[in-house]
Amino acid sequence: MASSVASQKSKRAAVRNALDRHKVYITAQRFSAGSYSARVLVDGEAYWVDEFRLSQLQQGLSPAELELTPATDD
């Protein structure tokens, strides 16, 4: 009985963590001279990021934690 309660708690914690993560939408991608960059939309704000920063965003870090500045619309 105790193991089923612990199992339920861990499942609920996993769902809570997934819901707390920011949704990251890739709106554009660039491949130039062997480098990759993506324009992403996070919480209504657009950012240009490299592959490493993109993976960090997808893992749940926020743009503020990564010290990203919003993209300017050209």
Measured at the alpha carbon of residue 13, what is the angle toward residues 66 and 59, in degrees to the nearest 5?
25
What is the model's pLDDT at position 7? 87
Domain regions of the chain by residue span? 22-74
Residue type, 6: A
What is the model's pLDDT at position 2? 61
Partners of residue 24 on adjacent β-strands: 42
On whether the CB atoms of residues 25 and 54 are closer than 8 A, the answer is: no
On whether the CB atoms of residues 38 and 49 are closer than 8 A, the answer is: yes
Report H helices in 1-74: 2-20, 51-58
The predicted-structure confidence for 38-52, as pLDDT tens digits, reads as follows 999 998 899 999 999
Q: Could you identify the residue written with the tokens 């960090």?
A: 56
Is 74 a residue whose pLDDT tops 70? no
Is 28 a residue whose pLDDT tops 70? yes
